[in-house]
Amino acid sequence: MSKKTALAASILLATTAGLAGCSVTFGSSGELTSATLEEGIAERMVEMGAEAPDSIECSGSLSADAGSTTTCEVEHSGVRATLVVYAEDVDGDTLNYSWETEEGSQIVVVDSIMASIDEAFTAEYGESFADIQCPADEVLAIAGAVISCDAVTDGGEVGIVEVVVTSVDGLWVNFDWSFVS
């Protein structure tokens, strides 16, 4: 039996658990439409140094009243999560708003984890996985979550890839993994 391990791998994502924010002119409507929110959040994520999210869909408009909220579903690099958007304050026709990731809403698409692991495995051991079969397509991104997948390397080595989520911060998911054959 051999064990090949990598620690502290992660899926790089768009924002942290802390608040991120924007300012926008809302005009006479008294609200920001869901389309305006989606565009503003995506642009702000890019300004913060991340790539634009794969998708973002807000459940509704955000009233231009301090304290109002709405939610947006975002997917970025294989992680889906809910963002809670807060209307912070209004200055004339400008609304300052912020958002944070709803704790516990993060779900990781297993294929994205396996792609990250395959890249690291290839860099470290000079071969890749020819096949990986996992029992689920998604895993809840909470510290301690485990998924074990049957795997075969290009060299014909058969084993199990075990992934353990070590921490989650907003849309940033860290995990350890090992391949045991």
The fraction of the chain above a pLDDT of 90, given in percent, is 46
User: Residue 39: helix, strand or coil by DSSP?
Assistant: helix
pLDDT tens profile 3-44: 665 544 555 443 444 446 676 776 667 788 999 999 988 988
Q: What pTM, to 2 d.p., does this model score?
A: 0.78
- Sequence-separated (6 or more) residues with CB below 8 Å from residue 82: 71, 72, 73, 74, 101, 102, 105
Report the alpha-carbon distance of residue 90 to residue 92 in Å, rounded.
6
* pLDDT digits 0-9 by tens, 102-127: 989 999 999 988 988 999 899 888 99
> What is the reported pLDDT for 14?
38
Q: Are strands 31-32 and 62-63 parallel, antiparallel or unpaired?
A: antiparallel
Listed by start position, the domains of the chain span 3-12+107-180, 20-101
pLDDT above 50 (res 55): yes
